[in-house]
Structure 1
């Protein structure tokens, strides 16, 4: 994502693939279904162990745009900064995902 380091938004297919790969990595590191992470229009996952959501609006939701997701997941922007300036929205008691960040570089599964 060197485009982001240059202050340029990546091409849509590159951004889409990065968002999806990072969501996949989050679901690997934080398996479960108690938090829904939404990065429209490219993806959404459920993760983090705890009570599961089955119908209606989930109790724990994180939502952000694709560029912010990549910036936070690669530690170019901290979770706290993205939350405080409104680029990332999190509602619910389980939505602080900062302990799982950064998601890249990917750690090997051991």
Structure 2
């Protein structure tokens, strides 16, 4: 099974990914901003992903089509069995426009991308 997860580096997301990896056939594609290479390494370590079944896909939930490069979209097309959107801003002190862009716009972008 192939999964595509947004918010995989967050508190809930990394625990969800770790649980998915208990399935021997699971491969998990995770949306990551370019600057999140360190987060990917920490996620792999947290999940015990020594065989690299976690695959980073560069993008941003606030961007149209999640900011995923067209080449990567073609590679993923027809290969994702489950799409899970967990990315959000939970900080109540965050700028309201940032929260709206991530939490409302991000849901719209995730839905559009998942189609």
Higher relative contact order (CA 8 A, sep 6+): 2
More helix by share: 2
**TM-score (norm: length of structure 2):** 0.33
